[in-house]
Amino acid sequence: MTANSSSYGTATAVSTSIRRYNSFLQLVAGLGGLLYGIDVGIIGGALPYLEATSGLTAAQLSVIVAAVLLGSVFSTLFSGLLADWMGRRRLMILSGLTFVLSIPVIALSHGYGPLFFGRLLQGVSAGLVGVVVPLYLAECLGAANRGKGTAVFQWMLTLGIVAAALVGIYYSYRVEAVARSADAAALFRFRDQAWRRIFWVSLPPGALFVLGSLLVTESPRWLFRRGEKEKTYAVLLRSRSPEQASVELEEMETTAHSAIATMGQQVKDSLLRRKYLIPFLLACSILACNTATGVNSVIGYNTGILLQSGLSDLYAHWGYVIFTCVNFLMTAVGMSLIDRKGRRFLLILGTVGIIIAQSFVGILFKTTESSAVDCRNAVQALAGPSQELTLRFGRAEAQQLLAAAGYSGHTIDSNRASLAIIYSYGDFTAATSFVRSDDPGAAPIEITRASCLPANRIEALFKNPFADLSAARTAPLRIQKALVGPVPGTGHGWLVALGLYAFMAFYAIGPGVCVWLALSELMPTRIRSNGMSIALVLNQLVSTTLAAIFLPFVSKNGYSSMFFLFAGFTVAYFLVAALFLPETKGKTLEEIEAYFAGNSAG
């Protein structure tokens, strides 16, 4: 009886230890997801203050936003190789340390270069986390806990975006208090400190993720591939019973022997066969279309969009908080439906909703942007002998520009107007961000040759391959457009916010929860790792390009054109999902692979 009790107690203790370790693994995964979400969302709250105080052009600000995505392109491309070379756990530690390092680089930066480098480091961290944490979970958690672990990563990712928005709303209240009690110079100084402090606040999650990664074990699959069977078994025992650990170790050995036996046959099996090519192209199309919806741009520029739609700074930040909460809640709804309704159904439902929501937002912006007045001649007259221009846009300046343009209507109120300028030196064109006449703390518009021209011929080649850089260095300033338009009322702003909430809800319930699952399910076993890397890089390239062109495109063509463009891309996404994507709900990976092989045979 005593022996039985002792055995029972030991078994209970082992079972409790396993549960605790599995919970700790999921906690670390959650911190990784939180970190990824903060990487994506932190710029949303900081951007209005960075834009108001940094003196950066619209193109430079777009690059700052896109730098995270650009960094993730590079790290995603090499993350699989790094994970195989140095191990999953070490790569998790490296990704966390990279994020921790990026924060002081950004927060202490003065000028475009250090800011860009810090954001690039954040992107490198995000790309590594986005690949290595799900990979680590898949290899460490048992089958009973794997789905839950992945759900925790996705769930905490959206929570990270919410947390970043809450930090932004806190500083929005602080900025509003300073605006009521201080002069314009003090408000400018506080805004300059606000965006830096927003980044400092995001440092603790990175440090906790590094600490958690130090305390977990290495992936048992990685150890097994290194020939360390004893360590593999010891690691498996941390998260499984001895019986489960023995079975899984035996399965690893069987799979390894099978792979060696079939290696010769795989070499002869051409990768250009339709059973590989069709699912690969389909997965790449879905990944490219997923970010072509503009989701990362809408998240990154959300506060700026709401400000231009008519909301105050405080309301715009609250609007962003609600936006992130919609993402968080609807992701949970999508996760509860994905195995009941299917991937294809949710993708079709989500893309249709996105198209309607984006078109609605585009129409709302079009109604106000069509009233804008071009005051380029009046702005051109303000340029000095140096062919540069500094313009503080307030109520008096708005009234003067409208009067000089001969405007006599009542649609545009000089007390509540916006201005964006498109200008050029020779063959090179640039655009300012929108500024509002009712913002006493806004920095003056700075138009200089340096803000427009590329620094060297290599940069000039990417910006305009047909331009003459030498001629542009001496060319006069030419104001192409100086659009003074009305800033809509608060009611219009909340209508735009509702359209964005609908966009986020349909994205979260459809593409947001389906895309990564569809990617892993569509790729055949033989090409899954490399195929997923290529598709993910394509995904990040599309997202980086859209984020980089967002502000210059909006300055030249308006927010309405940008949202109509996103809606057009989403139409292509809908057609891919409706016409070409098979339903994979309830099918094993082998059944999905056989489906594409059957098509090729047919």
- What are the tens digits of pLDDT across the range 495-534? 999 999 999 999 988 888 777 666 666 766 566 556 666 7
- Which residues, including other chains, have CB under 8 Å from residue 232's CB and lie 6 or more apart? 220, 223, 224, 249, 252
What is the distance of C-alpha 430 from the center of its chain?
25
Q: What is the pLDDT of residue 601?
A: 39
Helix axes 203-215, 88-107, angle to 10 degrees: 160
47-51, 137-141, 497-501, 544-548, range with the lowest pLDDT: 137-141
Distance (Å) of CA 10 to CA 5, 7, 13, 14, 242 = 9, 5, 5, 6, 13
DSSP 455: S
Task: Please tell me the distance from the alpha carbon of residue 421 to that of residue 567, in angstroms, as a whole number.
Answer: 26
Report residue 163 as tokens.
């947390």
Which residues sit opposite 373 in a β-bridge? 484
Out of 191-195, 445-449, 543-547, pick the least confident.
Answer: 543-547
Q: Give the lowest-confidence range in 92-96, 328-332, 357-361.
A: 328-332
3-state class percentages of the chain: helix first, strand second, coil last, to nearest 5: 75, 5, 15
Decide which of 80 and 488 is more confident: 488
Average pLDDT of span 215-226: 83
Burial of 491 (C-beta count, 10 Å sphere; 0-12/13-18/19+): exposed
Give the integer Cα–Cα distance in Å for 92 and 127: 11
Nearest alpha-carbon partner for 508 in 305, 377, 351? 351
Chain segment 344-394, per-residue pLDDT in tens:
888 899 999 999 999 999 999 998 888 888 999 999 998 888 888 888 898
CA–CA gap between residue 299 and residue 211 (Å, rounded): 29
Q: Which two tokens stand for residue 274?
A: 């339709």
pLDDT of residue 487: 85
Separation between Cα atoms, residue 163 and residue 541, nearest integer Å: 26
Taking residues 47-68, report their average pLDDT.
Answer: 80
Give 223-290 as a DSSP string: HHHTT-HHHHHHHHHHHS-HHHHHHHHHHHHHHHHHHHHHHHHHHHS-TTSHHHHHHHHHHHHHHHHH
Distances (CA, A) of 144 to 159, 239, 240: 24, 11, 10
Contact of 343 with 584, CB cutoff 8 Å: yes
Using CA atoms, how far residue 28 sits from 43, 205, 234, 493, in Å, is: 24, 11, 20, 39
- Mark 298-336 as b/e (b = at least 16 C-beta within 10 Å): bbbbbbbbbbbbbbbbebbbbbbbbbbbbbbbbbbebbe
Residue range 408-423, pLDDT digits in tens = 888 888 888 888 888 9
- To the nearest 10°, report the CA torsion of 561, 562, 565, 571: -120
CA 64 – CA 62 distance, rounded (Å): 5
92 vs 332, higher pLDDT: 92
CA 426 from centroid of its chain's CA atoms: 34
Distance of CA 454 to the CA centre of its chain: 26
Q: What is the pLDDT of residue 602?
A: 37
Above pLDDT 90, what percent of the chain?
A: 18
Number of helices and strands in the chain (H, E): 24, 7
Q: 144 or 371, which is more confident?
A: 371
- What would the two tokens of residue 31 be? 């911190």
Greatest mean pLDDT range, 23-32, 390-399, 428-437: 390-399
Predicted pLDDT at 2: 53
Alpha-carbon gap, residue 119 to 107, rounded angstroms: 10
Q: How far apart are CA 206 and CA 212, in angstroms?
A: 10
- Number of Cβ within 10 Å of residue 249's Cβ equals 17
Strand partners, 425: 428, 477
Number of residues that this document lists for the chain: 602
Instruction: Evaluate whether 310 touches 367 at the Cβ level (below 8 Å).
Output: no
Residue 440 pLDDT > 80: no
Phi, psi of 448 (to 5 degrees): -130, 160
pLDDT at 354 (0 to 100): 96
Residue 522 corresponds to which tokens in the numbers above?
Answer: 């569509």
For domain 10-216, the question of CATH label 2.30.42.10 is answered with no
DSSP state of 523: S
Q: Does the structure show a pLDDT above 80 at 162?
A: yes
Round to whole Å and give the CA distance between 270 and 331.
39
Task: Enumerate the H helices of 486-527 as residue ranges.
Answer: 490-509, 511-522
Rg (CA), the chain: 27
| CA atoms 522, 527, 529, 533: torsion sign | negative
Least confident of 50-59, 180-189, 255-264: 255-264
- Interatomic CA distance for residues 46 and 52, integer angstroms: 10
Question: Domain residues of the chain, as ranges?
Answer: 10-216, 373-488
| CA pair distance 15, 10, nearest whole angstrom | 9
pLDDT for 500: 96
Average pLDDT over residues 469-494: 90
Mean of the per-residue pLDDT values of the chain: 81
Note whether 563 and 81 are within 8 A (CB): no
> What's 525's DSSP letter?
G
User: What is the maximum alpha-carbon separation in the chain?
Assistant: 100
Q: How far apart are CA 411 and CA 310, in angstroms?
A: 14
